[in-house]
Amino acid sequence: MKILVLNCGSSSLKYQLINMKDESVLAKGICERIGIEGANMKHQPEGKEAYKVTTPMESHKDAVKLVLEALVDKNHGVIANIAEIDAVGHRVVHGGEEFAKSVVICDKVKKALEACSQLAPLHNPANIIGVEACEAQLPNVPQIAVFDTSFHQTMPRKAYLYALPYEYYDKHKIRRYGFHGTSHRYVSQEAAKLLGKPIEELKLITCHLGNGASVCAIKHGESVDTSMGLTPLEGLAMGTRSGDIDPAIIAFVMEKEGLTAQQVTDVLNKKSGVYGVSGVTSDFRDIEAEAADGNDRAQAALDLYYYRVAKYVGEYAAAMNGVDAVIFTAGLGENSKECRAEVCAYLGYLGIVVDHEKNAVRGKVADFSGSGATVRSMTIPTNEELVIARDTKELLDK
């Protein structure tokens, strides 16, 4: 069985074709600048040379067409015929309260996805366009939606409810949803394997630290709390997102700076986080380099970032009354030994001890707990595409 995994952003489309026989990636790539001048596709077929083309793509429909052509191309293709694609698994950002599991997409599901769009106006519309583009290009091929939010639907009410007038929840579904669910689910399952224990017996805290970042408390295999909320803006400081702030700051800034609500929201999403504090960049590699060069604001951004990750880990250890392992994943969590060491430096009281030699890895699975540790610390590369492909296969097998 071969499954095409699609992740449609507002102007991009990432894809992987996965052979489920051995879960190997046959080809992967990205179309960028869809609908903008300079649209291009980078295609990496397994065992062949990479292929790059710059060509206009008016919509995701054009991008899907281009991807399918690349997959069957004589030179850089990996399958002989489109008919070899058994199903398409779509990453969908917001499933609201409607979807606690991945689903086969039908008209009813599409309507529900549209209803969730108001909760994720930047993401869900692009996801729906991706589904429709595939329906047009691959009629009769099953399409499956895998949601960022569904893993967190197990959160108890005390974790998902905001202390706001209850009618906001009733009327507008304002509550904590959480994101990065496929990633938190995957790394927690891998951590259980590494620990050699059933996940049903474990309390885990997973830290997904990329451009977007979130922490998740996973008790006995279920998400019981997570740092992102109604939208992916809450929680940790991120590349350009503020994370938690005093909500009164919004009205205060609107008045002082003469901004509209939308403009302040833009500042919180795009001009804050380590970018806003450092004034340099949102890329952690550059910030680490600047800080090492003595840039004090870059150092302030890093200090604030690590501190907040550590605070969330403490909060979730309290929420679960204990923790067996803390797991780091995504761009920083997988690649930055400094980040892992700095966060863990706060966590000695929990029983975390870092072995700095074992921690000196990049993009690899490692348990970097030192001797005497009673809580394990690990780094596990995430694989959201594989989770999407596995869910898709499971639904097809049913």
Active site residues: 148
- Burial tier of 36 (Cβ tally within 10 Å: 0-12, 13-18, 19+): exposed
Q: Does 239 sit near ligand ADP (CB under 6 A)?
A: yes
Please state the closest distance from residue 371 (CB atom) to ligand ADP, in A.
27
Please state the closest distance from residue 200 (CB atom) to ligand ADP, in A.
28
Q: Does 336 sit near ligand ADP (CB under 6 A)?
A: yes
Beta bridge partners of 325: 204, 376
Q: Does 210 sit near ligand ADP (CB under 6 A)?
A: yes
Q: Which amino acid is at 384?
A: E
Please state the closest distance from residue 147 (CB atom) to ligand ADP, in A.
17
SS3 category, 87: strand
Q: Which stretch binds ligand ADP (CB under 6 A): 246-254, 330-338, 352-360, 370-378?
A: 330-338
Binding to ligand ADP by CB under 6 A, coded x per residue (else -) over 285-324, reads x--x------------------------------------
Nearer to ligand ADP, 177 or 284 (CB): 284
Question: Could you tell me the end-to-end alpha-carbon distance of the chain, in angstroms, rounded to an integer?
Answer: 14
Asked whether the beta carbons of 71 and 27 are under 8 A apart, the reply is: yes
Q: Which of residues 105-134 bind ligand ADP (CB under 6 A)?
A: none
Token duo for residue 164: 């706001």
Q: Does 331 sit near ligand ADP (CB under 6 A)?
A: yes
Q: Does 243 sit near ligand ADP (CB under 6 A)?
A: no
Q: At what angle do helices 261-270 and 248-257 cross, to 10 degrees?
A: 110
Nearer to ligand ADP, 76 or 91 (CB): 91
Q: Which stretch binds ligand ADP (CB under 6 A): 43-51, 258-266, 301-309, 328-336?
A: 328-336
Q: Which of residues 41-60 bind ligand ADP (CB under 6 A)?
A: none
Nearer to ligand ADP, 335 or 377 (CB): 335
Asked whether the beta carbons of 329 and 380 are under 8 A apart, the reply is: yes
SS3 category, 212: coil
Q: Does 235 sit near ligand ADP (CB under 6 A)?
A: no
Q: Does 284 sit near ligand ADP (CB under 6 A)?
A: yes
Q: Beta strand 222-226 with 213-219: parallel, antiparallel or unpaired?
A: antiparallel
SS3 content of the chain, % helix, strand, coil (to 5): 40, 20, 40
Q: What are phi and psi of 120, to 5 degrees?
A: -140, 65
In degrees, rounded to 5, the angle at the alpha carbon of residue 251 between the alpha carbons of residues 247 and 256 is 130
Please state the closest distance from residue 212 (CB atom) to ligand ADP, in A.
4
Per CB under 6 A, residues contacting ligand ADP are 210-212, 239, 283-285, 288, 330-332, 335-336
